[in-house]
Structure 1
Amino acid sequence: MRFLCLHGMGANSRIFEMQTGAIRYSLGNRHTYEFIDGAVPAKMAPGIESIASPDDEFLQYALDERESSLKALFDLERLVDQEGPFDGVMAFSQGAGLAASLIVHKSQKDPHGQRQNPVFRCAVFFCGGVPADPSALVQNGKMRLLNFESDGELIEIPTAHIWGASDTLYPTFGPVLSKLCRQELRSVFVHNGGHEIPGARDPEAVLKAAQVIKAAIERANLPQ
């Protein structure tokens, strides 16, 4: 299957490729991955010093404001429309929040069409950022974050959610997004780390992360 891959804030596509290397290896060689860089300069994310290069440009998809978030949403929508279809999306932190906003945006525009032919057939969210409400961005010009208590389950495709129990940077990243996804179609793995993706130093966590991702792929009736 073909995954669109979105990195976290203060990283880039090369770094995200390295961060997901052990998990992608555990998923086998039947998948392809297309890594997309953000367009907004950012400071280097904490904790990635060991895999960052002196030549790296650190990026994000949007600033925490309405105009920037709206541009990022429309840019991603255009990319998917022009270069898709993609079977799934794999995203970390801010990238996951943006991907989730796109899924909700497509459903808000065409609920029936998205049930029949969703923009992604499954999604993998690492430390998933809290998505902005697309309708508020587009119609009201407001920056409002989605939450289960107000909005319910908005994402109706199979999802895998992986986050760290010791995430002190963004403790709401992961739990909030998971609740926005349909309960019977979501799989969750909480590892012992922080705001990070399990790697080769924790083979057990890599294995469990791969298991919940495979569950999402299976629920989407996609090739393993």
Structure 2
Amino acid sequence: MKNLPRIACFHGGGSNAAIYEVQCAPLIAALENEYELVFFNGPYIRSAGPGVLPAFAEYPPFRSWFTQGEGGAELDDGSGYDSMSRDGVARVWQLMEAQGPGGEWVGAMGFSQGSRMAGGLLLDQQRRDRVGDIGVTDVNLRFGVCCMGAGTPMQSEIGHSLDEQTRVAERVGIRTLHVHGLKDIFLPLGRHQYETCYEKGTTTLFSVNYHHAMPWHKQDVQQLADHIRKIDKETRLG
């Protein structure tokens, strides 16, 4: 069987890879002959997130991509999961490499908090490309998908080497698709992420009449799949 192009997928806060795979089942079916969606777990255990219970009560443990430091502030680089103070972006690059031989990694997709993980990979790649540093991986993602997103992209090691002004001002310029739910209580946060963290002209906005959830109606799933195909094709053709 031909190795399909792979998309790395990141669950929301208080969820996990198994739950996100179930939530993405209609999209997986729509893309089954074109892409392989690969789901990853956040390193931290936490309580169930919005919309997880009661449907996924039998799917613990629930996880997060971020934790807090000693003072209670969020560690925006996702560090703290081991004694070596490695950041979460490097961890995920290594998890992707550990998947072994297969299709080319072409994209990253995240739901809610997971959108910060997807954006963090793209921003890290963008910065490393600029300075000629491949870092911990030679993966070259072409696009990202942020579903019901909120918050800034996860910071990587190279981000911390930049001065504060440059780090805050830099936006992701790699092609991205943003899925917004018009009934989502977090929609203002998603709009803020879209407007402040991503370069205009490289983004596509796809709005659906949903609450905080992945698209599941057939027509909406088909449109999401079509957007992914279109962005991938455009990035391949340059």
The structure with the greater share of residues assigned to helix is: 1
CA distance in 1, matches of 2:196, 2:117: 16
For structure 1, which runs of at least 5 residues remain unmatched after alignment? none
| Counterpart in the other structure of 1:167 | 184
Structure 1 residues 71-80 or 14-23, which shifts more?
Answer: 71-80
- CA displacement at 1:50 relative to structure 2: 5.1
Q: Secondary structure at the match of 2:180?
A: strand
CA distance in 2, matches of 1:67, 1:168: 23
Q: 1:217 aligns with which of 212, 229, 232?
A: 232
Q: 1:180 aligns with which of 185, 197, 205?
A: 197
The answer as to whether partners of 1:6 and 1:13 remain within 8 angstroms in 2 is yes
Instruction: Establish whether residue 69 from structure 1 lines up as the match of residue 73 from structure 2.
Output: no
Q: Which of these two proteins has the greater Rg computed from alpha carbons? A: 2
RMSD: 3.2
The Cα offsets for residues 187-221 of structure 1, whole Å up to 9 and x where unpaired, read as 2111111221111xx22322222222222112122
The Cα offsets for residues 35-68 of structure 1, whole Å up to 9 and x where unpaired, read as 1111101111222335414242101111252276
Scaled by the length of structure 2, what TM-score is found?
Answer: 0.75
Amino acid at match of 1:94: Q
- CA displacement at 1:172 relative to structure 2: 1.1
CA distance in 2, matches of 1:79, 1:174: 30
Question: Residues 20-59 of structure 1: matches in 2 within 5 Å?
Answer: 20-49=24-53, 51-59=55-63
Count of aligned pairs between the two proteins: 213
* Seq. identity, %: 22
Runs of 4+ aligned residues of structure 1 deviating over 3 Å after TM superposition are 80-85, 132-137, 139-142, 177-185
For structure 2, which runs of at least 5 residues remain unmatched after alignment? 69-73, 80-86
CA distance in 1, matches of 2:177, 2:148: 11
Structure 1 residues 64-73 or 54-63, which shifts more?
Answer: 64-73
Amino acid at match of 1:95: G
The answer as to whether partners of 1:163 and 1:194 remain within 8 angstroms in 2 is no
CA distance in 1, matches of 2:191, 2:232: 19
